[in-house]
Amino acid sequence: MADKKSGMVVETAHLTKIYQNRQIALNDATLNIEPGAILGLLGPNGAGKTTFLRLILGLHRPTAGYAKVFGQTMHPNAADLRRRIGYIPTNPQFPKGMTPITYLDYIARLFGIPRDSRKPRLASLIRAVDLLPHSGEPIAYFTPGMTARLAVAASLINEPDLLIWDEPTHGLDIEARRSMLELIKTLAAEKTMILSSHNLTDVDEVCNHASVLNKGQMIFHGTLQDLKGRIRKNHYELDLEGDQKAITKTVAQLKAMKEVVSATLRHRRLELKLTDEVSNTAVLAQVFQTLCDGKVALVSVRSVGMQTEQAYLDLVEREESRGFTRLYAPAEAA
């Protein structure tokens, strides 16, 4: 459920957290999260992702700015707001002597869920996360994948409107990760979610929005498509076929084109980088004509780096470069 006035599930404005008056963990983060958004929170270690999530959850007080959830300001005493959020921390830990049934029943009682609805709900969740065969086993013997699925069930016990999951696929094997991604896709149809992740392939698969943190700064917030759109364009791979001498000669001609930044041939695969400013359509037409004139066949052509990972790396690299330039530009001017 979103805030009726703004229509947003989460709003932050100038959200800032400074630890011990010396470590700036988050600096001036502003964003809005709409109902139904599946937001991938990206950034390297130490970027401020977990701090940002804890501020939204009200586990920390902001040094400046604010976070609103469902239209209300979040703070450490806002238990009524946290009841509407399902949270999974990184590497969730559970009492080893409990079973999924006893643990989920305990969590449901903490939420004040009556017994009549508590039992059917936890049974339904245990089935949904595929833990039914292990529902009576001690959690101490669970694999990382089973523990992760139990964390999902626990985060859903209160039927939350917002899910905040911090690195939900961390430490999982391929099969467990695939199971987790399918669960996220199912929940995405009816929930608003924030997923913090280092695995950019996961984000690319399940998210429709992204925020990128770097050194406490939010350097991007928007749709996943917008993030990919900020990538350096005009970078292609071409698979060629023909006489090797003809291919080598034609590639030399392509290198001589002023619009071509580089043309690197590895066996019969050509990596072609064009200047960002040119129309790729016009230049590619010239490239294809040059290949044709050289009697070189084109087997396939594809754009390189249109996945989230490349877009993210490109964005961080550019931001680092701008920060360096900003820092030293005044000195150079002087």
**Which residue segments constitute the domains of the chain, with CATH numbers given?**
10-224 (3.40.50.300), 235-303 (3.30.70.100)
Query: What is the average pLDDT across 11-37?
Result: 94
**pLDDT exceeds 70 at position 332:** no
Say if CB 142 and CB 176 are below 8 A apart: no
Q: Which of 30, 42, 53 is nearest to 214 (CA)?
A: 42
**Residue 67 near residue 19, CB atoms below 8 Å:** no
pLDDT at 334: 34
pLDDT score of 309 = 67
Average pLDDT over residues 119-129: 93
**Contact present, 224 and 238 (Cβ < 8 Å):** no
Q: How far is it, in rounded angstroms, from Cα 144 to Cα 30? A: 34
Q: Helical H runs in the chain?
A: 49-57, 79-82, 100-110, 115-128, 144-156, 174-188, 200-206, 224-229, 244-255, 280-293, 308-333
Give the SS3 label for residue 292. Answer: helix
Burial of residue 39 (CB within 10 Å: 0-12, 13-18, 19+) is: buried
pLDDT band at 200 (very low <50, low <70, confident <90, very high): confident
pLDDT level of residue 322 (50, 70, 90 thresholds): low
Range 55-83 average pLDDT: 94
Question: Can you name the residues that pair with 24 across neighbouring β-strands?
Answer: 18
Alpha helices for 129-266 (secondary structure H) = 144-156, 174-188, 200-206, 224-229, 244-255
First to last CA, the chain: 54
**pLDDT(165) > 60:** yes
Q: What one-letter code names the amino acid at 261?
A: V
**Most confident range, picked from 5-14, 151-160, 264-273:** 151-160
Q: In 3-state terms, what secondary structure has residue 19?
A: strand
Query: What number is the average pLDDT over the span 176-196?
Result: 91
For strand 192-196 and strand 38-42, is the pairing parallel, antiparallel, or unpaired?
parallel
Q: What is the pLDDT of residues 28-45, one digit of tens each?
A: 999 999 999 999 999 888
- Higher pLDDT, residue 275 or 319: 275
Residues 6+ apart with CB under 8 A from 271: 235, 236, 237, 262, 263, 264, 265, 304
Mean pLDDT estimate for the chain: 88
> What backbone phi and psi angles, to 5 degrees, belong to 53?
-65, -40
User: What is the value of pTM for the model shown?
Assistant: 0.74
pLDDT greater than 80 at residue 73: yes
pLDDT given for residue 4 in this prediction: 57
CA–CA gap between residue 25 and residue 46 (Å, rounded):
8
- Asked if 24 and 182 count as a contact pair (C-beta separation under 8 A), the reply is no
Residue 327 has pLDDT above 50, yes or no: no
